[in-house]
Homo-oligomer: A and B are copies of this chain.
C-alpha cells in the first residue's frame, strides 16, 4: 500500500514515466521509501488496471516506448483516504544488530570493519542530506509544503546523525575490547 501511495504522491507532484519514477525513487523519494524499477513498473500496471492512474493521452506505441502516467480522480481519492488511515505495524529489521549479537554470542569475532563500513555509509548519506538542505532549504520560511518537505529531510538527517554517532561509539568500545591498547 505504501509503495502504491508513494508513487501516487509522486504523480500528483508531476506526471512521469516509469523511468522517471525510478530515478526519483533513487534520489528524493527513495530516502524514505526504497523501490526498484521492477516494483515500480508492476505497480504502475496494477494501478492503471485499477483506474488510479492513466497514461497521458499523447503518444502510446509499442513495448519500448515511454509512457507518461498521470493520476486520476479515483487515484487522488484513494491517496487521500490512505493518508488519513491509521499507521501499519512497525517492523524493525536491522541485520547489523543481528550480526553483532551473533558475534557476541559466538565469541572471538572482530566486527569493527563492518561497523566502520556502516559509519562510512551513514556519514556519506548525512553529507548528501546536508547538501540538499543547503541547496533547497537555506532560506526559510518558504511555503507550507516546502516546510513539510524540510521536516521530512530533517528526519533523514536526524536518523543518519544518530546512527553515525552510535557507530563511532561502538567502534570505540569494540576497539578497547579487542585490541587492548593499554593492557
Chain A residues within CB distance 8 Å of chain B: 2, 5-6, 8-9, 12-13, 29-34, 76, 79-80, 82-84, 86-88, 90-107, 109, 111, 114, 117-118, 121, 144-145, 147-149, 151-152, 154-155, 158-159, 161-163, 165-166, 169-170, 173-174, 177
Contacts and interface: CB of A to CB of B under 8 A. Distances in A.
A98 B145 contact: no
A85 to B, nearest CB: 9
Contact of A162 (B6, B83, B152, B158): B158
A116 B19 CA distance: 36
Q: Which of A101, A102, A152 has the most CB of B within 10 A?
A: A101
A83 B103 contact: yes
A93 B31 CA distance: 9
